[in-house]
Structure 1
Amino acid sequence: MTASAPTLLFVIGPPAVGKMTVGQAIADRTGFRLLHNHLTIEPVLRFFDFGTPAFQRLVDNFRIGVLEEVAASDLPGLVFTFVWAFDHPGDAQTVASYARPFAERGGRILYLELEATQSARLERNAGADRLAEKPSKRDLERSRKHLLEVDATHKLNSTTEFDGRDDYLRVDNTHLSPDQVAATAVRHFRLPDRRS
């Protein structure tokens, strides 16, 4: 790994687990930039419905473009949030394609997985920060229904996929603040900490 290659930190977990707020707390501590998944989703929803081929192409191209530019830059790193359905093999391939520009330059690729109770996530689903950053979630009844549906149909937290890996940390943040989780992740992965 080269010293100048940026780090890519994936923050993964189910909807409304707190990926964006934890990601922002990590970015504030480290100087990394935050690319939360809705920064790419929301603009494309103005043109195409979620999940359509055109929607998926545009979102993927947008993300890969940002990831490639950051990987080639002198930025210290990027926090990228992603809902990973572990029962869907295509998601693992997508994550690998997102990581590729950093891996090719010798950057660190890290995984912070968040988990929380469904009741905590349903409460967070209506949080002010979430609704401010994610206009498509402002229809609370629809958003709540979507959260329950994806919980019922997909495996949104890992089981054994990361066993024995030192590039991975799992945190139950049901009762933890974003700053507490960020401090744990920064310490665990030995990331630069502007607060120390």
Structure 2
Amino acid sequence: MHLLCIIGPPAVGKMTVGRAVCDLTGFRLFHNHMSIEPLLGVFDFDSPSFRRINTLIRREVIAEAVRADLPGLVFSFAIDFDRTGERALLRELVAPVEAAGAPIDVVELYAPQTVRLSREGGDDRMDHKRSKRDVDWARAHVVELDTRARLTSDPAGDGDLLAGHRHLRLDNAHDDARATAERIITEIGLPRR
């Protein structure tokens, strides 16, 4: 199984690009809100209980995808490059894939805040992310997160997110998810359907 991690800040297009990659490759999509949304009715976002259960769900889905021998899994999420433990957590999540000797690639999407704010309220986000349906809150959340978290790497200083695995950075300020997916598939060499 090939694991493709798509990372980046909120509203950068992780889920949309991930879906386009899946449409072209036959991979399956596990976007970050698939584990977030069910927990929000029980736990506050980013509380210790939320983080623990969210990590458990993500780890088990990735491990089961390996056991099920899926052709590939696209896993999208945000990572704070300045938060202690984030890289170790990512290593824990991908450990089953590494143990199986399967390939792992990281694709980092970035776009200016103005572009990301304009995407809040889009149909795709509203359909798949209940917590984003309050568009004013979602936009304020993007701005607030940008003040307290570094969700985009510094290509000159962060190095590879997962040592030993490719880390591709792509500007996703445009609104053509298929073009971005095509570039990912070409540059990484993913198989097509």
Distance 1:165 1:180, change over 3 A: farther
Q: Look up the equivalent residue of 1:170 and give its one-letter code.
A: R
* Counterpart in the other structure of 2:174: 175
Deviation track 1:46-97 (CA, whole Å, cap 9, x = no partner) reads 2111112221121111111111100122211110001011011221111111
Which of 85, 103, 107 is 1:108 aligned to?
A: 103
- 1:162 Cα offset (Å): 3.1
Q: Which runs of 4+ in 1 moved over 4 A?
A: 163-166
Gaps of 5+ in 1: 1-5
Which of 5, 8, 17 is the equivalent residue of 1:13? 8
* Distance 1:176-1:162 versus aligned 2 partners, 3 A rule: farther
1:73 aligns with 2:64: no
Q: Secondary structure at the match of 1:15?
A: coil
Once residues 105 and 53 of structure 1 are traced to their aligned partners in structure 2, the CA distance between those partners, rounded to angstroms, is: 30
- TM-score, normalisation: structure 1: 0.92
2-structure distance, mates of 1:167, 1:73:
24
Q: What are the within-5 Å matches in structure 2 for residues 24-173 of structure 1?
A: 24-159=19-154, 160-162=157-159, 167-173=166-172
TM-score normalized with structure 2 length = 0.94
Between the aligned partners of 1:140 and 1:74, the Cα distance in structure 2 is 38
| Number of equivalences | 189
Unaligned segments of structure 2, at least 5 residues? none
| 2:120–2:138 contact (8 Å) kept in structure 1 | yes
Alpha-carbon contact 2:104-2:165 (below 8 Å) kept:
no
Alignment RMSD, CA only?
A: 1.4
DSSP-derived class of the 1:148 partner: helix
One-letter amino acid matched to 1:133:
H
- 1:176: how far off? 4.7
Q: What is the identity percentage for the equivalent residue pairs of Structure 1 and Structure 2?
A: 43
Deviation at 1:127, TM superposition (A): 0.9
Output the amino acid matched with 2:184. Answer: A
